[in-house]
Amino acid sequence: MEPAFLYGGYPAKDLRHKFLMAQESDAQELTAQALPDGFSIIPLPGHALDMVGFRTPEGTVYLADCLSSRETLDKYGIVFLYDVAAYLETLSMVKGLSANLFVPAHAPASEDIGDLAQYNIDKVLEIGERIEDICGEPLCFEQILGRLFSLYGLTMNFEQYVLVGSTVRSYLAWLKDEGRIRAEFSDNMLLWRR
């Protein structure tokens, strides 16, 4: 499902490999009732569908993939997001959480997560502004994506095309919903403009 979701249709063979396709498993839904006593689920929407974190009775908060390290953000510039608005809400909520220890999947464990959450927020807003600036003239998705790859020094291949491309589509939807850009059809092409 992941390669089809990212690509938006049946994926080419280049996308049907172990990096994007999980092996079959006997996974079951993890509900609050299935957790050990004292554990609680923390909804963390935005980065991925229905992502959650967990709080232990001792006050440790596991944040799954909801934050990226400064190094990851500085190196790659654009990280995968599904729902930009929900992600910003999640980051604001995480920034205000208190815990004895925070354990994000892609950053070191820390007693204070506020600065890293704000850094992630700032990066999301920066990318939104860059896309908005790119859309100063009417452009199709492929042109916007190409310009972002150039701005962030990314190298295009099938995996990056679907991961970053899916994220850019999410940004375009968010910017449109916020009234910052609009979509228009011209010569049978969907164009985005500020």
**CATH code at 64?**
3.60.15.10
Q: For residue 24, what are its two tokens?
A: 């079959």
Give the C-alpha distances (Å, rounded to integers) separating 10 from 1, 7, 40, 62.
9, 7, 37, 34
Assign 157 a pLDDT band (cuts: 50, 70, 90). Answer: very high
CA dist., res. 124 & res. 178, Å (int): 14
pLDDT score at 12: 80
101-103 and 60-62 as β-strands: parallel, antiparallel, unpaired? parallel
Classify residue 90: in a domain, yes or no. yes
What range does the domain containing 174 cover?
Answer: 40-193
* pTM of the model as a whole: 0.92
Q: For residue 35, what are its two tokens?
A: 């957790």
- Whether the per-residue pLDDT at 56 is higher than 80: the answer is yes
Classify residue 35: in a domain, yes or no. no
Classify residue 111: in a domain, yes or no. yes
Domain count, the chain: 1
Classify residue 183: in a domain, yes or no. yes
Classify residue 19: in a domain, yes or no. no
Classify residue 26: in a domain, yes or no. no
62-76 pLDDT tens trace: 999 999 999 999 998
- Whether the per-residue pLDDT at 148 is higher than 90: the answer is yes
Classify residue 33: in a domain, yes or no. no
Average pLDDT of the chain is 93
Average the pLDDT over 8-17 and give the result.
82
pLDDT score at 179: 98
> Could you count the other beta carbons within 10 Å of the beta carbon of residue 34?
10
Classify residue 45: in a domain, yes or no. yes
